[in-house]
Amino acid sequence: EALKIPFRVMIPDIDETPQAQEGAQALVERLAQAKADLISRSHIESWVLAADTTVSLKGEILNKPIDERDAMAMLTRLQGQTHEVHTGCCLRRGDRCILIHDKAWVTFRTMSKEEIEWYVATREPMGKAGSYAIQGQGAYFIERVEGSYATVMGLPIEKLIPHLKSLHLLKTWVLLPD
């Protein structure tokens, strides 16, 4: 919406379970590509953009929580730590496929048990990698972000824009002084 590109949201039904020995980068790239592949089969003439984001703490993938207890455990582990956020996106049309990956580092401040319970009770962590949304109330816990904020939100826009421009999917304007 911010880039003024018309789009339609479609949610592909794919298994997001990490494969054995699969790292965070490989996971998000595989899932983004699988999502784009699935949707593009029924939308052959359209450009399909799919993305996937995950959190990694000391090499361990922290995907979406399975329940509130899992969300509590993830947030407890993330507090006072710096973790990696990996986002992969795939831009596909027919046989043309562009795969993008970006990584950012997010540091959480130390949180009380009551703060974590309050946040989990908002339900915002459910369905979010690492059990938080940086663009929502989860921002309350963030001490520092190194890298792209957009990548942490789930779409590495800084890396995506050059591809959108080269494919003529993004209009550019030149602003001239009065």
pLDDT tens digits for range 33-55: 999 999 999 999 999 999 999 99
pLDDT on residue 56: 97
Q: Report yes or no: 58 and 86 within 8 Å, Cβ to Cβ.
A: no
Give CA–CA dist 70/57, Å, rounded: 15
The backbone torsions φ and ψ at residue 154, rounded to the nearest 5 degrees and listed phi first, read 125, 10
Residues labelled catalytic: 52
In the beta sheet, which residues pair with residue 52?
Answer: 88
Q: How confident is the model at residue 74 (pLDDT cuts 50, 70, 90)?
A: very high
Closest CA to 107 of 156, 76, 146: 146
Percentage of the chain exceeding pLDDT 90? 83
Q: How confident is the model at residue 57 (pLDDT cuts 50, 70, 90)?
A: very high
Contacts of 75 (CB under 8 A, 6+ apart): 108, 111, 116, 119, 120, 125, 131, 132, 141
Residue written as token pair 């590495």: 156
In the beta sheet, which residues pair with residue 105?
Answer: 84, 146
pLDDT tens digits for range 81-122: 999 999 999 999 999 999 999 999 999 999 999 999 999 999
